[in-house]
Structure 1
Amino acid sequence: MHSTLSDVVAEQIRKRRDALGLTREDLAKRCADLGVSELSYGAITNIETGRKTKEGTRRRLVAIDELATLARALQVPPALLVFPVGRLDQVQALPGDPVPTTAALAWFTGEQRYPSALTPKGEVDERTGIAEWYEDPERGWEEGAAPLLLVRKFWDRVEAWRGELKGRLPADEREQRKAAAVDELEALQREFRLHGLTPPAVPDDLTPGED
């Protein structure tokens, strides 16, 4: 049986807390110190144990701002509380759709498309027999993921140029390479703007005349 993401988060919070030797009171104190007093001992207990309401639903879920707070308090990236690679082989990225945890994490961070052929249900168009916009669930994925893809590409190129500029280079060659770096990074900045996004600035250390 594959756990829901809420179950996964609860289990990873408990395991990470135990690994750090923290009690629930300790974790609640850390969360309060970070400005989220709602994550009290009782709340953390309900999260970790999965206590149910009369209706059978979890008594306490984790809001996204609380997830970030818990991750900071537990000294772990938030994504690993949801998609614990190396600890779980599969997670239910969507209800009833178990997929490899590594693939789910890559989808979550915008590195790849949704890792399943699952077609969401929707009202069927009688003319085509296809459920609404679900004809192609991944249509428009690149546009939706553009901010993540572009920012990763930008900083990857920054690090690549920094690598090229390491070591001793003649001053004129260094300046030429910096100019080439700026040209490439400015081209990427234009891609950001085409998507209506604000691009990162070119780092000072790659600007000609700056060392």
Structure 2
Amino acid sequence: MHSHQTASDTIAGQVRKHRARLGLNRQQLADECARLGAVDLTYAAITNIETGRRNKEGKRRREVTVDELLVLGLALAVPPLLLVLPLGDEQIVPTVPAADPRDPYTVWKWCTGEETPTLAGPLDGRHYVDPRPIAGDGPKWSAAWGTAAYPASLYPEFERRREAVHRAYLRTETAQATRRTDKEGHSAAETDYLHRLEELARHINDMSRAGLTIPDLRPDLIEDMQGLDMLDDPDVINPRGTE
């Protein structure tokens, strides 16, 4: 614990790796960063990032900012999160200065809100969710984390349900063409579509209660949900392409 190894050290190694993967020298990477608007990521800056020069206390002279992480990821054609959490490439990565490093995929799930961080420990070989109240008498840390991370689970699920509705809708259109010869198939397609639509509507209601912005949807899907009284607030979403 209390190691001087930082996330910037991990990023430095990944920048070197992906720069070599693309066959870029440091000046070419600096040019790519400048093209993206990061003119401060010069040849000298990239050199300092990659070499990780230390001061007398052993700390890096040049850390990587969040803004720079985004630029470097785009310039190197790699998801920025993979620069700091290189899945399958490193066994452990730094977390916070007061805690032990952890495996990259564990920290990845913290960053995406899939799991609650477990920095306390290890006790009996295990890590534990922080049980303390924030600032001594505030909410439990784990509960506060769960509340803040809630949107991270809702938006991916919205995408899955929206896609399921879209596929079901296309099946109803196909079944419509054969309605006269396959009434049973048409009925099954309609039932599946309504079931998927209701699932999406329930999820939209959950997002609305959480105060989240609902992504745009096709007007016909919105009309169907509104017409079937599936939405708690019929005006909570806009048709795709409108304001």
TM-score bin (small chain): 0.7 to 0.9
Alignment-derived partner of residue 80 in structure 1: 82
2:141 partner SS? coil
Alignment of 1:44 with 2:49, yes or no, is no
If asked which structure has higher relative contact order (CA below 8 Å, sep 6+), I would say: 1
- Which of 102, 106, 109 in structure 2 is aligned with 1:106? 109
Offset, 1:4: 2.2
The secondary structure found in structure 1 opposite 2:93 is strand
Partners of 1:13 and 1:90 in 2: how far apart?
17
The correspondence for 1:201, drawn from 212, 216, 220, is 216
Return closer, same or farther for 1:203/1:103 CA change in 2, 3 Å cut-off: farther
Contact 2:164 2:196 in 1 (8 A): no
Q: Does 1:191 align with 2:206?
A: yes
* 1:164/1:115 CA distance change after superposition, 3 Å: farther
| Range moving further from structure 2, 1-10 or 82-91 | 1-10
Question: Hey, what does 1:30 align to over in structure 2?
Answer: 32
State the Cα distance separating 1:159 from its structure 2 match.
2.9
The aligned counterpart of 2:196 is 181
Q: What whole-Å deviation, never above 9, does each CA across 1:132-176 have from its counterpart, x for those lacking one? A: 269953223221111111001111222333454566742254454
- Give aligned pairs, total: 203
Unaligned runs of 5+ in 1: none
Aligned-partner Cα distance in 2 for 1:79–1:133: 34
Helix, strand or coil: the match of 1:90?
Answer: coil
Equivalence map 1:161-180=2 (5 Å): 161-164=165-168, 169-171=174-176, 172-173=186-187, 174-180=189-195
Residue 63 of structure 2 is matched in structure 1 by 61
Structure 1 residue 180, shift from structure 2 partner: 3.4
Tell me what 2:149 maps to: 145
Alignment CA distance shift 1:8-1:133 (3 Å) = farther
- Match for 2:51: what amino acid? T
d(CA) in 2 for partners of 1:41 and 1:184? 52
Structure showing greater Rg: 2
Matched, 1:117 2:123: no
Give the corresponding residue for 2:160: 156
Equivalent residues of 2:165, 2:200 under 8 A apart? no
Deviates more, 1:5-14 or 1:193-202: 193-202
Q: Deviations over 1:2-45 (max 9, x none)?
A: 84212101111111111111100000000001111100000000
The code of the aligned residue for 1:150 comes to L
8 Å contact from structure 2 (residues 12, 49) kept in 1: yes
Q: Quickly say closer, same or farther: Cα 1:67–1:205, change in 2 above 3 A.
A: farther
Runs (5+) with no aligned partner, structure 2: 122-127, 177-185, 225-243
Identity of aligned residues (%): 39
TM-align CA RMSD: 3.2
